[in-house]
Amino acid sequence: MPDQGRTGPLAGLLVADFSRILAGPYATMLLADLGAEVVKVEGPAGDDTRTWMPPVRDGVSTYYLGVNRNKRSVALDLKDDDDRAAAQELARRADVLIENFRPGGLARFGLDYETVAATNERVVYASISGFGSGERGRTLPGYDLIVQAISGLMSLTGDPEGEPFRAGISVFDVMAGMHATIGVLAALKHRESSGVGQHVEVNLLSSALSGLVNQSSAYVAGGTVPMRMGNSHPSLFPYEPLPCSDGDLIITAGNSGQFRRLVEVLGVPELADDPRFSRNEDRTANRDELRPLLVERLGTRTRMEWFDAIIAAGVPCGPINTVDGGVAFAEDVGLDPVVRVAGPHGEAVPSVRNPITFSATPADYRRPPPRLDEHGAEIRAWLDKPLDPEGDDA
């Protein structure tokens, strides 16, 4: 059953994907893009995101399509003896198992780490939860929105005088998925020398606190509780949208050299030597005085006119796009952001390209997101066959 034609740095690895929704499927898709053979184990009703619509493409949720390419699907009812045995055999053969059940939830099916590792000591078993496996955390359901609230992210997002807002994506699900991927790769490297796998645990709240970076450090290292500042940055100015004649342009002058080039192209070079604005800390402290001086000049031209001029001066800036504009901009700068994955049924499913570029072992896109149980018969037949001692099909 493993696809001998797979390429990529992870070719030859078998990943048993017992995850659903976003964090786990995102991690397994990244591994699949890089060559791993991923078997997506779904319940009889399928991954919840299959029904999260609109939007849809050809009757399938685009949410599901976004995180499930390059996988094979098998539907197994873990309460059924035969299906449970098939799931356990898949776990026994896997190099990697990724799951995001509530901590301890797979133990009753004989699919917890201790049970799997007893027959597969080389397995790298990754668990993704909301709040960890401790006595208290394991009882709490983990949803990205809840973690955005609990972690403090929502207190940092939105207008200072308005209500807290969630981020526009499930940012900590994605972040936890990436952290799980990093953990799996590190554990695989350790397995090369030790010969044994290990249990990798990732939780959304820890990923959130790590991902808050300067904001969580402000409290942990400095005793400062940061609060939302709209689009302003607590430690830099300018680093926010500023209005031009036809709309806002994001301008980020991260150091004094960039600020000097900015004010030169704006036609007010004297601001770089003004003692109120000469250093970053001065510009940040006196932003209410500096902002109107910049806005006055920016209002004389359109945002794209200023974009071209400011970029030419070596100062980072960019328009505020909708998602279609973001994809178009990526195409314009040569990133080729969309791939089309042809499937056995003749469809070609557009998907966002894996963001990692390799010079020797590029990502490949061999399969569109699978239909529910699309590969069930094939996978069950493979699991019924004995393996030789080297782990190949007998």
Q: By C-alpha distance, which of 259, 240, 258, 260 is closest to 250?
A: 240
Average pLDDT of the chain, as a whole number: 95
Residues 6+ apart with CB under 8 A from 85: none
Structure tokens belonging to residue 32: 């699949």
CB atoms within 10 A of CB 348: 11
Residues 6+ apart with CB under 8 A from 129: 100, 102, 103, 137, 138, 142, 201, 202, 203, 204
- In this predicted structure, what is the pLDDT of residue 143? 95
- In this predicted structure, what is the pLDDT of residue 1? 65
Q: For residue 57, what are the β-bridge partners? A: 60
Least confident of 2-6, 163-167, 178-182, 286-290: 2-6
Q: Does residue 354 surpass a pLDDT of 80?
A: yes
**Rounded CA gap, 306 and 313, in Å?**
10
Residues 6+ apart with CB under 8 A from 11: 35, 36
293-315 average pLDDT score: 97
- In this predicted structure, what is the pLDDT of residue 390? 60
98-119 average pLDDT score: 97
- In this predicted structure, what is the pLDDT of residue 394? 36
143-149 average pLDDT score: 97
In the DSSP assignment, the letter for residue 273 is G
Task: Kindly list the structural domains of the chain, giving each domain's residue range(s) and its CATH number in brackets, ordered by start.
Answer: 14-213+339-384 (3.40.50.10540), 239-332 (3.30.1540.10)
41-61 average pLDDT score: 95
118-146 average pLDDT score: 96
118-127 average pLDDT score: 98
What length does the chain have? 394
Q: Does residue 362 surpass a pLDDT of 80?
A: yes
Q: Which CA distances in Å does 320 have to 4, 259, 363?
A: 45, 21, 30
Query: Do residues 97 and 126 touch, judged by C-beta distance below 8 A?
Result: yes
Structure tokens belonging to residue 225: 């509780």
- In this predicted structure, what is the pLDDT of residue 318? 96
In the DSSP assignment, the letter for residue 238 is S
Q: Is 173 a catalytic residue?
A: yes
pLDDT per residue over 196-246, tens digit each? Answer: 999 999 999 999 999 999 999 999 999 999 999 999 999 999 999 999 999
**Rounded CA gap, 256 and 281, in Å?**
10
φ, ψ (nearest 5 deg) of residue 73: -115, 135
**Rounded CA gap, 269 and 379, in Å?**
68
Q: Which residue is catalytic, options 83, 95, 173, 364?
A: 173
